[in-house]
């Protein structure tokens, strides 16, 4: 199974992505983590993207699409599916990721959308700010990330609805309840997928 995760900041892409990857034996491609790891390791890429991450803005497409291509290629080489967390954020990224998938014969068969409202998401991320100290977890930057998601990323869901691969789960509930629904919905979807 090949899963894209599309959800606002704080909805649980990282949390549920780990659960899904573990449950179905999929590779996890987590763009935000890869970028933050480069910052922590002070690589050339990390130095380039650090200010953008701290502002909660998008890093250039060429960087995230190359990370996406590498992740999909590694999953293909390992003979596994994947959970891709972080791409797409824009319609241009959705089309580019689709083209990468076509070239590798690794296009997504599920776009998993986790739905939650902004008040809940702000609460979760401010809560995390107290323990994890992510550079983008402060109120003005969280509000900017949420605004960008609502204005630019959320409309991209229509692309996946038209391709009939969109799966929406209510993520505004306790973590375990969300995981149970996500797994059940993906199992049902997997049962309907032709083997390949």
Based on the shown chain and the rule CB under 6 A, indicate whether residue 84 belongs to the binding site for ligand AP5.
no
Based on the shown chain and the rule CB under 6 A, indicate whether residue 39 belongs to the binding site for ligand AP5.
no
Based on the shown chain and the rule CB under 6 A, indicate whether residue 71 belongs to the binding site for ligand AP5.
no
In this chain, which stretch among 73-81, 123-131, 161-169, 182-190 interacts with ligand AP5, using CB under 6 A?
123-131
Contact 71, 21 (CB under 8 A): no
**Beta carbons within 10 angstroms of residue 177's beta carbon:** 13
Based on the shown chain and the rule CB under 6 A, indicate whether residue 9 belongs to the binding site for ligand AP5.
yes
Kindly state the smallest distance separating residue 138's Cβ from ligand AP5, in Å.
12
Tokens for 114?
């986790």
Based on the shown chain and the rule CB under 6 A, indicate whether residue 58 belongs to the binding site for ligand AP5.
yes
Nearest C-alpha neighbor of 39 from the set 26, 28, 53, 25: 53
Q: CB-wise, 106 or 169, nearer to ligand AP5?
A: 169
In this chain, which stretch among 100-108, 121-129, 160-168, 188-196 interacts with ligand AP5, using CB under 6 A?
121-129
Q: Strand order in 82-85's β-sheet?
A: 27-30, 82-85, 2-6, 110-115, 166-170
Q: Taking CA 87 as the corner, what is the angle to CA 47 and CA 195, rounded to the nearest 5 degrees?
A: 135
Member of 111, 178, 182, 186 binding ligand AP5 (CB under 6 A): 178
């Amino acid at each position: 199974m090949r899963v894209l995760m599309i959800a606002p900041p704080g909805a649980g892409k990282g949390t549920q992505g780990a659960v899904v990857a573990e449950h179905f034996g999929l590779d996890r491609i987590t763009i935000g983590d890869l970028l933050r790891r480069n910052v922590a390791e002070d690589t050339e890429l990390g130095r380039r993207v650090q200010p953008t991450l701290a502002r909660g803005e998008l890093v250039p497409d060429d960087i995230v699409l190359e990370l996406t291509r590498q992740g999909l290629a590694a999953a293909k080489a390992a003979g596994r599916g994947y959970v891709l967390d972080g791409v797409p954020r824009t319609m241009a990224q959705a089309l580019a990721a689709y083209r990468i998938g076509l070239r590798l014969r690794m296009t997504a068969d599920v776009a998993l959308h986790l739905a939650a409202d902004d008040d809940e998401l702000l609460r979760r991320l401010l809560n995390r700010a107290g323990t994890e100290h992510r550079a983008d977890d402060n109120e003005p930057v969280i509000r900017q990330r949420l605004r960008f998601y609502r204005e630019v990323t959320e409309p991209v869901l229509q692309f996946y609805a038209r391709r009939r691969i969109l799966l929406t789960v209510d993520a505004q509930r306790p973590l375990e309840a969300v995981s149970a629904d996500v797994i059940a919905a993906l199992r049902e979807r997997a049962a309907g997928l032709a083997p390949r």
